[in-house]
Structure 1
Amino acid sequence: MVLLRSLLFNVVMLLSAAVYAPLMLPTVVLPFALRYRLISAWARFQLIVLKHLCRLDYRVEGREHLPGGAAIILSKHQSAWETIAFQGIFLPQTWVLKRELLWIPLFGWALALLRPIAIDRSAGRKAIEQVIEQGRERLQSGIWVVVFPEGTRVAPGTRKRYAMGGAVLAAETGYPVVPVAHNAGSFWLRRGFLKRPGTVRVVIGPVIDPRGQTAEAIIKQAEEWIEKKMVELEKTA
């Protein structure tokens, strides 16, 4: 049944994206807030399908830590689940992502409408400068910026080096950092087909105030909190 349910979900997800993405292209003329609401409706629909078809739900803890204004989210990255679910959990947001994603027909074109910070990972310092410049503009516009500091999806129980981009953005702009941990990879594997039933726990940590801190100190605090929380989450998954 898990295999069948996963197959049906993937069919629904792909077909709905193929239909919905072209319909969203004309929203480029709309204000960002309205455009985001319309486009992210696709993601919210996937969460409903996951819940009822795959028996995969989620629970959010720590909402009281969310600041009132725009912030920078530094999150664990384990699967495609969080790229979908975060759109139903957090306020209007955009992401720091690899530019190649925007080249995907239909999906990438619709993604571009959400004003992502699309970087060339091989560009080094130039990519960091792009994150600072465009990230500052997004934050000043009230748009949250989501950064996966490990840069790629990692399997449960593993970790990669945390990149500095999100922390540098925080240090340069003074906007608060919100660390986020979750165990989505235990239910939706990073390169897996199956969507296992259960409840993903998403935990929002205490805000890190970047003012007066170096980027190194900011990323260290975020990494320590996230990885410590991951040990707990993966034990209970």
Structure 2
Amino acid sequence: MFMAIQWVRSLVFMIVIYAWMLVLGIVFAPYALFAKRGALQACKTYARTTMWLARWMVGIRCEIRGEVPHGEVVIGAKHQSFLDIIMIFNAIPHGKFIMKRELLWTPIIGMYARRLGCIPVNRGKRGAAVAKMVKDVAREFSEPGQLVIYPQGTRVAPGVHKPYKVGTAVLYEGLGFPCVPVATNAGVFWPRTGVLRKPGTAIVDFLDPIEPGVARNDFLERLEHAIETRSNTLMREVGFDPDEVR
């Protein structure tokens, strides 16, 4: 009975947050088109209200741990669901995301992504995509911000293993910024597919930065070990054993 009620609450929640996205997108559009600050304000408002609605409507509490970076850094983040995007973006001052190119054509999201300075990547052309990504990122960093990239390239369900790609290391080398690993357990409560949202505490944890100058292979090993180890710990903390999925 509880699961049936929670499913209905989850469905209503999803309808509300996507309707709210549309409303905010339209209301802020004139401001966002003429000032990047307007796009940032709109997206911050959406992130905060979505987290508040998640707690009130489906029982998901959002917790940020670790030292949130405020300077120019690369953020290599575990990506399990839409929720971890919202939590990271709300926590950092000016987030810019590496995103798949198809999202640029999504109503509302595409326009605001452009205004925030997000970097689209054509995932079908790996070598060319990485080279263009570095060039585009260098151009966008004429304005300060925190660049968020998902080292696994996509959302990965809790407990599922997916290799880390070289793109994060290339950006780390090319930009010369520290890289902050970020772990999460958000997918336990807000899965990558389906409607049901489960009550509990979703955590995003900003870990110790990897300073510039680490060799590529060593960097990728350190990044993966930090993110995966901490994410597994966060999942076990809320009662989910990632080892049982494997």
What is the TM-score with the length of structure 2 in the denominator? 0.89
SS at match of 2:194: coil
State the alpha-carbon separation in 2 of the partners of residues 80 and 216 from structure 1. Answer: 29
Query: 8 Å contact 1:36–1:114 — kept in the other structure?
Result: yes
For this pair of structures, how many residues does the alignment match?
233
List alignment gaps of at least 5 residues for structure 2.
239-246
Deviation at 1:190, TM superposition (A): 0.9
Partner of 2:111: 109
One-letter amino acid of the counterpart of residue 29, structure 2: L
Query: Percent of pairs identical after alignment?
Result: 30
Q: Which runs of 5+ in 1 are unaligned?
A: none
**Contact 1:43/1:85 (<8 A) preserved:** yes
1:58 is aligned to 62
Q: 2:191 maps to what in 1?
A: 189
CA distance in 1, matches of 2:167, 2:49: 31
| Contact 1:138–1:145, Cα closer than 8 Å, also in 2 | no
Instruction: Tell me the C-alpha RMSD between the 2 structures.
Output: 1.6
Hey, what's the Cα distance between the residues in 2 that align with 1:9 and 1:154? 23
Cα distance between partner residues in 2 of 1:220 and 1:135: 23
SS at match of 1:154: coil
Distance 1:215 1:33 in 2: 35
Rounded to whole Å, the distance in 2 between the matches of 1:154 and 1:18 is: 27
Report the Cα offset of residue 92 of structure 1: 0.7
Partners of 1:119 and 1:148 in 2: CA distance: 12
Map of 1:77 onto structure 2: 79
Q: Is the 8 A contact 1:210 1:218 kept in 2?
A: no
1:88 equivalent among 64, 87, 90: 90
Alpha-carbon distance in structure 1 between the residues aligned to 2:14 and 2:210: 37
2: CA distance between counterparts of 1:7 and 1:57?
18
Kindly indicate whether the alpha-carbon contact (under 8 Å) linking 2:39 and 2:112 is maintained by their aligned counterparts in 1.
no
1:156-176: CA deviations, max 9, x gaps? 111211111122111112101
Provide the secondary structure at the position in 2 that maps to 1:200. Answer: strand
- Amino acid across the alignment from 1:6: S
1-structure distance, mates of 2:70, 2:112: 28
**Residue number in structure 1 paired with 2:219:** 218
TM-score, normalised with respect to structure 1: 0.92
